[in-house]
């Protein structure tokens, strides 16, 4: 069996990617090692990578010093609600834009995509006033409701998939007496599972790491999410960096698990949406 020789350009590309991966991984390695240090070792010059000794108790202390259990529960249930809500709203809007003909469909879609260019900081003041009028400040509704509504990126991603589905399948279902909702739920959604999985993973990762909106809308520690709880380690006069690094390492675990499980779906969803667009 003949084996193909590795081209020089491919070898250079692999070397560059390996170096880039190592550089990207250094901050995570430093975070984990700092979580195992004593506070006096964190800012030693020159830096010491290996802790002496290993302080394993930092992880336990970081979980007990603050109500991290409550923060984990808040983040998980907020993420679950937002992910399911976005999958429903984005898939329905994407199906309408891809398969249903109505007046001004294309201009409306372009206008909808244009909202992706508006930074969240521009709309935060009107959104804050709305949450205040609704009486939702310092409640999880102020985080869930705005995030659960339509996501322009999610609609675009799913629309590309829906457009790649042959229209003959929809026509055959109509001949058999199926209505729009039946076609959407029984035929279309099962065919776009890769895109739905990719969108769900993107949404989960974004919401889990979301710090800006909880910082604006939440005030009570019992309402805090994981990023907000980590911020409490930063005091007015001093910061316990070892406990913060230990808490950040624990908070990173769900993100790594979701990414490792869903990496294949992310690549497949984004790749196929680009091919079928």
What would you measure as the largest C-alpha separation in the chain, in angstroms? 75
Spell out the residues 6+ positions from residue 54 whose beta carbon is closer than 8 angstroms to its own: 36
**Domains delineated in the chain:** 68-276 (1.10.3720.10)
Residue 171: CB atoms within 10 Å: 11
Spell out the residues 6+ positions from residue 162 whose beta carbon is closer than 8 angstroms to its own: 94, 95, 97, 98, 99, 188, 192
What is the sign, positive or negative, of the torsion defined by CA atoms of 205, 139, 123, 147?
positive
pLDDT value for 266: 67
pLDDT value for 40: 81
pLDDT value for 77: 92
Give the global pTM: 0.81
Q: pLDDT tens digits, the chain, 277 residues: what are they?
A: 444 566 777 888 888 989 998 898 888 888 888 888 888 888 887 888 888 888 888 888 888 888 888 899 999 999 999 999 999 999 999 999 998 888 998 999 999 888 888 888 888 999 999 999 999 999 999 999 998 887 888 899 899 888 888 888 888 888 888 888 888 888 888 888 888 888 888 899 889 989 999 999 999 888 999 999 888 887 755 677 888 888 888 888 888 888 787 777 666 655 555 444 4
């Amino acid at each position: 069996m003949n084996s193909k020789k590795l081209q020089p350009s491919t070898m250079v590309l692999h070397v560059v990617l390996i170096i880039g991966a190592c550089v990207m991984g250094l901050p995570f390695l430093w975070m984990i090692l700092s979580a195992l240090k004593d506070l006096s070792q964190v800012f030693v010059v020159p830096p010491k990578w290996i802790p002496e000794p290993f302080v394993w108790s930092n992880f336990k202390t970081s979980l007990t010093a603050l109500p991290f259990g409550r923060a984990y529960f808040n983040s998980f249930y907020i993420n679950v609600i937002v992910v399911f809500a976005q999958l429903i709203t984005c898939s329905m809007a994407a199906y309408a834009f891809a398969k249903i003909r109505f007046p001004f469909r294309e201009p409306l879609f372009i206008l909808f995509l244009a909202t992706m260019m508006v930074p969240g900081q521009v709309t935060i003041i009107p959104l804050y006033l709305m949450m205040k009028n609704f009486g939702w400040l310092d409640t999880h509704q102020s985080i869930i409701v705005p995030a659960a509504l339509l996501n322009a990126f999610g609609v675009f991603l799913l629309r590309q998939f829906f457009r790649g589905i042959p229209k003959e399948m929809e026509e055959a279902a109509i001949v058999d007496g199926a209505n729009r909702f039946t076609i959407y739920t029984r035929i279309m959604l099962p065919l776009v599972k890769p895109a739905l999985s990719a969108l769900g993973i993107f949404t989960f990762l974004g919401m889990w790491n979301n710090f800006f909106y909880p910082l604006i809308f939440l005030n009570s520690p019992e309402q805090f999410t994981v990023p907000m709880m980590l911020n409490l380690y930063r005091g007015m006069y001093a910061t316990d960096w070892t406990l913060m690094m230990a808490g950040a390492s624990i908070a990173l675990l769900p993100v790594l698990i979701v990414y490792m499980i869903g990496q294949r779906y992310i690549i497949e969803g984004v790749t196929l949406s680009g091919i079928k667009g």
